[in-house]
Structure 1
């Protein structure tokens, strides 16, 4: 492998990526590309994928290219593999040569068909976060990840974990904001429909709400969808919720 970048240079580069990219997705893809570049060397190119486990679901959130993403996603089809074990259990998984791999024989055979001989998967240090993640390094050659390469990769991931922790937290905040907005949108539609029913039927708020619930149960529709149909039939148009 090539001469590793110093820890300070890695931290500086990751800080630059955080500042220069527009969103979490862009940052993670740039991180995957930088990781592949940093961990490749004279013995060949290294492909990089980043696996994230959240809410019991695994996904490749970034990759250094389509081939790396494909190699990650093959594991999801089998339900297990080195990268999934790495992220799930927080352990380093090193397959020196897939031709001798016995733990995941079906996955190994598939990976070999794609020209991959070795993989090194290292967990990110996300500390108290619910999410778990791992970086997956693939090579077309067997035995590429020798002791010095593994040591280099471990040091690199330790530093890169700081940026990954921030990215995960930003993504969680974004999800929370999106969920809150969706809830407020639904509440706005339902409250508007209740007001329309009260005006049309001269009933109480509770009675109007019960009418919406009854229609939801009878038609097997969500409350929001029933309420939206009521608003649209009354000529209410598209409703907007002020949220920031």
Structure 2
């Protein structure tokens, strides 16, 4: 990349960084990214519509779009199970159709897109490190030859810069989900421990025997272990259980989360 290209991508990188800071949620970030992309490539009073396709576990979905029209164009591809944007996301390749009236790569989709008033399409992959997740940026122009060579290069650089923000947004979402799962697990552990104590007191049995009774009831009733434990606590008059998280003092011998 030469100096001129570097200078051009720096403001884009800063804008995408700002989008991520303002929208740490993945879906909100991608929605703003789609709108930003559409505005960036709409020139000379020619509207460009943008969608973002996300592939996870072989299932495709539009997670963000700049307009209802972009969403419909993406959904058409999922109906036909083929198209430029799916190919870009799945195979990690750029797909440029300068004139839909002269392209027969995906005849059914091309005809449907033309009926929607689209003249050209540019689809680019987002380079992601997570192999289980693939994504693509879908740009639709109402004009044929809507993306010249300079626009294609700008879009390529743009997708590269945006992928960095997308990777970070996905990581933030994964860490947030991990923290949520950990708190849920600790909350379940708390109510199970209290239920175990109640059974020990009522039946004068060992902890292992009390836990086994809860597990057996869960299996026989086909009810989650936590729900069985909560029912035991409720019958004993304990009511809803709250799990309190606190951080140990900095000068303590141990640091971390304690329930």
Shift of 1:34: 1.0
CA root-mean-square deviation: 2.7
Q: CA separation in 1, counterparts of 2:182 and 2:82?
A: 34
CA distance in 1, matches of 2:38, 2:51: 9
Shift of the 162–115 alpha-carbon distance from structure 1 to 2, 3 Å rule, reads same
Matching residue of 1:144: 146
Q: Which has the higher contact order (CA 8 A, sep 6+)?
A: 1
CA distance in 1, matches of 2:56, 2:229: 32
Residue 86 (structure 1) aligns with: 88
Q: Which sits farther off after the overlay, 107-116 or 231-240?
A: 107-116
Aligned partners of 1:200 and 1:112: how far apart in 2?
73
Structure with bigger gyration radius: 2
| Matched residue, 1:162 | 164
The answer (yes or no) to whether the contact 1:43–1:144 under 8 Å persists in 2 is no
Task: Summarize the Cα distance change of 1:147–1:104 in structure 2 as closer, same or farther, 3 Å threshold.
Answer: same
2:191 & 2:107 partners in 1: Cα distance?
Answer: 53
Task: State the partner residue of 1:178.
Answer: 180
Counterpart of 2:120 in structure 1 is 118
Shift of the 88–181 alpha-carbon distance from structure 1 to 2, 3 Å rule, reads farther
- Contact 1:53–1:132 (8 Å) recurs in 2: yes
- Structure 2, unmatched stretches of 5+, are 246-256
Q: Give the aligned partner of residue 189 of structure 2.
A: 187
In the alignment of these two chains, the number of paired residues is 241
What TM-score, normalized by structure 2, do the two folds share? 0.79
Report how far residue 122 of structure 1 moved: 0.7
